[in-house]
Amino acid sequence: QLQASGGGVVQAGASLRLSCAASSRTFRRYAVGWFRQAPGKEREFVASSSWSGASTYYAPSVQGRFTISRDNAKNTVYLQMNSLKPEDTAVYYCAADSAYNGFEEQYDYWGQGTLVTVSS
């Protein structure tokens, strides 16, 4: 079970850090992806990390502003979001998979989402 948290309302240019926590220790062996869904739009890929953190991928729209990292000792993956823009407003979801860490929605497990609102 995945629990996403850390969302909130911020002004443009601010930062937020989202967390994705799991209760199972096997989570540390899972790749994790972050996706987001803006109002009226389809869900889209944001970032992903391999189980070790050695391989990370980012959507072009967040490259250089967002950083995915993980603390496997805490069974938690983070998404540090800097220089937030109004277009980053969305519900953010974390997902996990034992093998896949790409940009498609092929992850086996999904969290409930956390809302990020960026005002201009």
User: pLDDT digits over 22-75, tens only?
Assistant: 988 888 899 999 999 999 999 999 999 999 999 999 999 999 999 999 998 999
Cα separation, 1 vs 110, in Å, equals 8
pLDDT at 101 over 90: no
Cα separation, 23 vs 3, in Å, equals 9
Please report the pLDDT score of residue 25 as a whole number.
82
Band (pLDDT 50/70/90 cuts) for residue 5 is very high
